[in-house]
Amino acid sequence: MKYVVSACLAGEACAYDGRPRTCSAVERLVREGRAIPVCPECLGGLPVPRPPAEIKDGTGGDVLAGRARVVNCEGRDVSGAFIHGARATLEIARRHGVRNAILKARSPSCGYGRVYDGTFTGTLRPGCGVTAALLQEAGFRILTEEEVQHLVL
């Protein structure tokens, strides 16, 4: 089975603070040629490092539908970059015939199941990030790094 994975989990220093969020299981999948690392936020044109961002007034699906926004801690709306990066990630996965993803938990792009609520207080709400929502709509099986530590992939 092949995966598209959050590049930060594969050891790339692309998270908002310029650091990786390394996950040994994901690194192994990449080394074995079973995973393609992508950073939706970088694909969307955002720099590294960048101000942290959260989804305000909804979830990733709401951002895709135009009902919510991704806003950084400086108050700047970065929804367009998040949507562009999500679409680029889906295109890369499709080009490689991939239908599975391992994504960074709680991220406004990659979070699956729970994301930060837009208040920058560390509060979580149910939902997905923008990329996770788009991949879910496309029928992908999605896991987070917290789930893969317990699986044999």
Question: Would residue 22 count as lying in a domain?
Answer: yes
Question: Would residue 34 count as lying in a domain?
Answer: yes
HSE-CB at 95 with a 13 A cutoff on CA atoms is 7
What's the pLDDT at 142? 97
Question: Would residue 153 count as lying in a domain?
Answer: no
Q: Does residue 4 contact residue 64 with C-beta atoms inside 8 Å?
A: no
Question: Would residue 112 count as lying in a domain?
Answer: yes
What's the pLDDT at 121? 97
Q: Structural domain of residue 17, as residue ranges?
A: 3-148
The total domain count for the chain is 1
36-76 pLDDT, tens digit each: 999 999 999 999 999 999 999 999 999 999 999 999 999 99
Question: Would residue 12 count as lying in a domain?
Answer: yes
Question: Would residue 127 count as lying in a domain?
Answer: yes
Question: Would residue 58 count as lying in a domain?
Answer: yes
Q: With DSSP H G I counted as helix, E B as strand and the rest as coil, what are the percentages for the chain, rounded to 5? A: 35, 20, 45
